[in-house]
Amino acid sequence: MQTKEMKWETSKVNGVFSRDLLNDTDGTFKMIKLSPNSTYPIHRHPNKTEFAFVLQGTLTATIGEEELIGEEGAFFTFPVGTLHGLKNSDQDKETIILVGAIMKKQAEPSLEHENALMNPKLIENVAPQLLPLVEDHIKICKVLDSAKGIIKKESVKAVLQVVGEEIDNHFVAEEELLFPLMGKHVGGIDLGPVARLIEEHHKIRKLYREFQETFDEFVKQDSERTRTSLDEKLKELSRTLLNHLGKEDSHLFPMASRLLTEDEKNAVAEGLLQYK
């Protein structure tokens, strides 16, 4: 069996080279090569436990106030939040280590409102004329659900596309067709539930722009920092959007189905055709 030559990426630290083997939201694995007499500076990770396995050479590991030395086969663990650093004190030979990290899991808070994908029975309370709005929501929820976990450019692009369409078409359709009619029945669009939904639209638009900017930065430089930032922005956008969609599926659409007259519901259905 033929093996390919190891390709190392130059680090910002002089004399340190690396190669990513695995990099996702659950953890990372990479090879690090320390040139003779080179040092990877003291640092800490607030959200992951890191370990190092010496494959070749001798490693001096600083862990807190302690300094340990290990040769080939040595194993070091750096707990969450612990200051640590790596050093090759040898004047002549390289040191190669396998470095891995396990992300500290944080329980994600449950959504405040169920959406139609989570609870299909919600559709039973929505008038036929308003079902296209629910169908849009189900499509978005499926894409957001598939994007959970590993950060991949393809899945992020799919989120950007479907959420962008939601903002450009679905949001505008609600603001121009449904919300004004609902305002007539619930006291206006400048206060109460309709005003709150409009406010959420503005917030989601802002989060979407921030997510797009973070993705652009990630495309230019795929690093632990940009990957973490992208994952955090995706979670924030997803949670905010899913709660908004759930609020509409659980409350707005059923309420509109009862309050709007048949003529008003038909007007919404006809108007939605221009936003497809």
CATH code for the domain in which residue 220 is found: 1.20.120.520
Residues 6+ apart with CB under 8 A from 68: 60, 61, 62, 76
From 78, 103, 128, give the residue that closes a domain: 103
| pLDDT, position 7 | 73
Evaluate whether residue 79 is within a structural domain.
yes
| H helix intervals, the chain | 131-146, 153-165, 172-173, 179-186, 192-220, 224-247, 253-259, 262-272
Residues 267, 191 share a domain: yes
Measured distance CA(243)–CA(249) in Å, rounded = 10
Among 214, 208, 197, CA closest to 161:
208
Rg of the chain over Cα atoms, rounded to whole angstroms, equals 26
Residues 93, 21 share a domain: yes
Q: What is the DSSP string of 74-108?
A: -EEEE-TT--EEEE---SS--EEEEEEEEEPP-PP
Measured distance CA(167)–CA(161) in Å, rounded = 10
Residues 157, 48 share a domain: no
Evaluate whether residue 127 is within a structural domain.
yes
Evaluate whether residue 22 is within a structural domain.
yes
Range of 15's domain? Answer: 9-103
Evaluate whether residue 249 is within a structural domain.
yes
Residues 97, 133 share a domain: no
| H helix intervals, 46-191 | 131-146, 153-165, 172-173, 179-186
Q: Are 256 and 182 in contact (CB under 8 A)?
A: yes
Residues 132, 68 share a domain: no
| pLDDT, position 244 | 95
Residues 257, 126 share a domain: yes
From 41, 69, 103, give the residue that closes a domain: 103
Residues 131, 71 share a domain: no
Tokens matching residue 82: 């612990």
- pLDDT, tens digit only, all 276 positions of the chain: 344 556 777 766 788 888 888 776 667 888 999 999 999 888 887 778 899 999 999 999 999 888 999 999 999 999 888 889 999 988 899 999 999 888 766 555 677 888 898 888 999 999 999 999 999 999 998 888 877 766 778 888 888 999 999 999 999 999 999 999 999 998 888 888 899 999 999 999 999 999 999 999 988 888 878 888 888 899 899 999 999 999 999 999 999 999 999 999 999 999 988 876
Measured distance CA(64)–CA(240) in Å, rounded = 39
Residues 99, 133 share a domain: no
Evaluate whether residue 92 is within a structural domain.
yes
Residues 131, 90 share a domain: no
Q: What are the phi and psi torsion angles at 23 (to 5°)? A: -150, 100
Domain count, the chain: 2
Evaluate whether residue 237 is within a structural domain.
yes
Q: Are 59 and 73 in contact (CB under 8 A)?
A: no
Residues 184, 95 share a domain: no
From 103, 136, 155, give the residue that closes a domain: 103
Residues 200, 136 share a domain: yes
Q: Are 76 and 51 in contact (CB under 8 A)?
A: yes
Residues 173, 90 share a domain: no
Report pTM. 0.63
Distances (CA, A) of 86 to 10, 29, 58, 148, 182: 16, 16, 10, 33, 63
CATH number of the CATH domain containing 14: 2.60.120.10
For 77, other C-beta atoms within 10 Å of its C-beta total 12
Evaluate whether residue 109 is within a structural domain.
no
Evaluate whether residue 35 is within a structural domain.
yes
Going edge to edge, which strands form the sheet with 39-43?
Answer: 39-43, 84-87, 59-63, 66-70
Distances (CA, A) of 274 to 38, 136, 198, 268: 64, 15, 21, 11
